[in-house]
Amino acid sequence: MLNVGELKVISFNTCKYGELSKNIKTKIYRTVILPVLLYGCETWSLTLREEHRLRVFENRVVRKIFGPERDEVTREWRKLHSEDLYGLYCSLNIQVIKLRIMRWRGM
């Protein structure tokens, strides 16, 4: 099983190549990285710290996929904030993990 460090390397290598479109990078993230990340999530005891770590990881990957954006007023490049990322990509829903946990436990 992959650890978090190996998953970071896979996601970074997937997202850094400029010749891949954002659409392809997003599909790779959904079909390769997310299933590896969420493998066995039914057995997790999901704490607030783990929820935060999942959101941070996803934000980092999505920032790599979409890159910086140019501010219209100052014309300077800036990194995308969490609100901007949510508009570009429907983020990982923690509720889905919680529902999987409840289903696995028979609730």
| Distance in angstroms (rounded) separating the CA atoms of residues 42 and 8 | 22
Q: Output the pTM of the full model.
A: 0.69
User: In Å, how far from its chain's centre is CA 54?
Assistant: 7
* pLDDT for 7: 61
* pLDDT for 15: 56
Q: Please give the C-alpha separations between residue 39 and each of 1, 60, 84, 89, 100, in angstroms, as whole numbers.
A: 9, 19, 28, 21, 11
The domain locations on the chain are 4-105
Which tens digit of pLDDT belongs to each residue from 2-61? 566 666 666 556 555 567 888 888 888 888 888 888 888 888 888 999 888 888 888 888
Check pLDDT > 60 for residue 1: no
Residues making up the chain, counted from first to last: 107
Range list of H helices, 1-107: 4-16, 22-28, 34-37, 48-66, 82-88, 94-105
| Distance in angstroms (rounded) separating the CA atoms of residues 28 and 86 | 18
Which tens digit of pLDDT belongs to each residue from 44-79? 888 999 888 888 888 888 888 888 777 788 888 878
User: In Å, how far from its chain's centre is CA 64?
Assistant: 10
